[in-house]
Structure formats: structure tokens, C-alpha cells
Structure 1
Amino acid sequence: MEADLHNLVDEREGVFKVVVSLPEDAWHNFSSELLWAEALEDGTMRVLNTPFFAKGLSYQDVISIKVESDGIFFNSVVSSGGHSTYRLIRNESVDDEIFKGRWGGLAELGCTYESFLIGSAYMYAIDVPPSTDVRKVYSLLEAGEKDEIWDFDEGKYAGSNY
């Protein structure tokens, strides 16, 4: 049964929660992730936040959706917004000052993040804008992993403009 999209709108006008199904065998044991999105005139939606778990999706991607009685569900990526997504989990023994010091290099390149506590470790969803040299970002992520500041993984590589 299909539902009216406007009945599923969030408190913020024009902003919707889209359910993205996740693999059953994923390490985190979440079955789905909710992403914020805005409706576009052609019936697609634009992703408004950086995914923590969904692979192949990034901030500003345009997606197709399926509206059902129990929610709005991700169907596919229609077009890339040009952003790349990386995820990292901070080593539990690393304090805030050390993390902030290492994060500074990524911030200088234009990266931003969303974070939350998963178990006793902080997880970060990293947005890499299209104007950023992804090779430099990746190098800093690898260095942080080598120095045991964090572990990281690639959610989506959107390509490089460099």
C-alpha cells in the first residue's frame, strides 16, 4: 500500500527520513539506517547528511525512493553529488586532544563529520567535498590508522578532481 509522501514529512518542513536497508551480516548489527533527505520536483530526493553505515551513498547524492505505508525507502542512487564518504572508529585509548590534533589536517582539507557513540567507541561519518583532493584525505586516514588513532573504511569514493 502506498502512502502520501506529505504524510511522512518530518517536523522540519520538506525534510524526510529515508530508510536504507543494510546487509544482514554487517559487523554493527543494524538492519537499517535513517538518512535525512529533501524532496525534489522530479520525485527523487537529495541526501542531506553523511551515512554512517550505508555503502555507496554520500551527502548530496540524488536518490530514487519507494513510498510505503510505513516509511520512505531508498531504492537507488540516481546521480552522485560528488562527495566521498569515509568512516572511522576512534581507538578507545585515544583522548580528545590527540584525536582533535589528527582531525585538524582533515578539517583543513574541507572534511566535516557527524559522530556518535557505538558501544564504548566513537564512530565518525566523514564527508569529503568534491573540491577536496581525496588522495590527501586518504593519506591522512591511512596515517591515523597506522598510528592506531583510528580504523577507517570507505563508504563511497566519488572520484577525484585532481
Structure 2
Amino acid sequence: MSSGSGSGRHPITIITHEDPIGRGPTNYIVHADLSDRQDGWREQLWTRQLTEDRFEVACLPFFTYGICYRDVVTIDSNHLVASVVQKSGHRTLRVALVAEHQDRDQLHELLHGKVVEAALPHEWLQGACLSVDLQPGTDPTAFVEALKAPAQVGALHWEIDS
């Protein structure tokens, strides 16, 4: 995450993607406004410019709901996402590890091994937030099974967004 000065009384905090799954030589960075959940927060989204006003998402959003990998979005004059104009059929499985939980590091290693073993494209944010791409037709049942017990003991929270 990075932070900078913004207008008004709240500084802007930008959640960044250090290793987006769709990184390419011609990526175009836009922002998604997260201020409905936290004043001044935005998520940086890597995209590919398709036309003058359409962009295909090239990363796995950590906090932006309703936008998934390869969805097509439009932006406003401030480079903020204005709308989703075409859904890709991809879904995003998000996992947030509880920072204070005693087994957090072991759980990170376990989940990382599971996504690699299942060949699921994924991104980590600061080792605590995991976004997993679920391509159309992907059955996440085996991975979700690995999440159930840690979720029941309060070690993580998870969801699937489309």
C-alpha cells in the first residue's frame, strides 16, 4: 500500500498490486474508489487499454467488489473506474488472514502451496490477503475445503466475488 496527499481532510491511501497476474509491457493503471468503505482509499488496478475508453482488468482485485480479472471497464477523467461494461465470467476468491492469529505464517504457506498445486492464478498483498482467479468452469471446492477449518477457528475470512 502507498499513501499520499489528497484534497480535503483525508489523505489518499492506494492499495497496490506488486505482481499482477496480467502484467505486460503496455499496462495502464487506473484506480477503483473504495471510499464507500474507507475514506480516501483506492485500489490500483492494472489494465490493458482496448480502445480509447475501454480497459480490460489485468490483475485480481483485493478489495474492489464486482470487478474480476479480464472484465472490461470504463474510466472517468480522474482515471477512476466509472463502470463495468463487460463481464468476463471470471470470479475472484478472496482470503484475508487474521493478523493476530498464532498460525498465520503456517496458514500462508499452506494456502500458497494449495493454489500453486491447483495451478490457480493468484496474487498476495503483504502476505495477508490472497486473491485467486477462478476462470469460467473452475470448481473451487477443493481449495474452499482447505479454508473451512481455519475460518471456523477465526484464522481467516474468505469470499467469492463475481
Instruction: Give me the TM-score of the superposition, normalised by structure 2.
Output: 0.69
Aligned residues: 137
Could you say which residue in structure 2 is the equivalent of 1:126? 132
1:78 equivalent among 69, 74, 85:
85
Matched, 1:59 2:66: no
2:118 equivalent among 89, 96, 109:
109
Q: CA deviation at 1:54?
A: 0.5
Structure 2 CA distance for aligned equivalents of residues 31 and 97 of structure 1: 30
Question: Would you say the 8 A contact 1:45–1:62 is kept in 2?
Answer: yes
Aligned pairs for 1:2-151 (under 5 A) are: 13-24=25-36, 26=37, 31-41=41-51, 43-66=53-76, 68=77, 71-92=78-99, 93-117=102-126, 122-151=128-157
Q: Give, as a single letter, the amino acid of the residue that structure 1 aligns with 2:98.
A: N
Larger CA deviation: 125-134 vs 90-99: 90-99
Listed as ranges, the gaps of 5+ residues in structure 2 are 1-23
Name the SS of the counterpart of 1:140 in structure 2. Answer: helix
Listed as ranges, the gaps of 5+ residues in structure 1 are 1-11, 158-162
CA-atom RMSD, angstroms?
Answer: 2.6
Question: Would you say the 8 A contact 1:102–1:144 is kept in 2?
Answer: no
Question: Would you say the 8 A contact 1:19–1:33 is kept in 2?
Answer: yes
Q: Give, as a single letter, the amino acid of the residue that structure 1 aligns with 2:45.
A: L
Cα displacement string for residues 85-140 of structure 1 (whole angstroms, at most 9, x for unaligned residues): 122222332253443224433443332322223xxx71222222224113444443
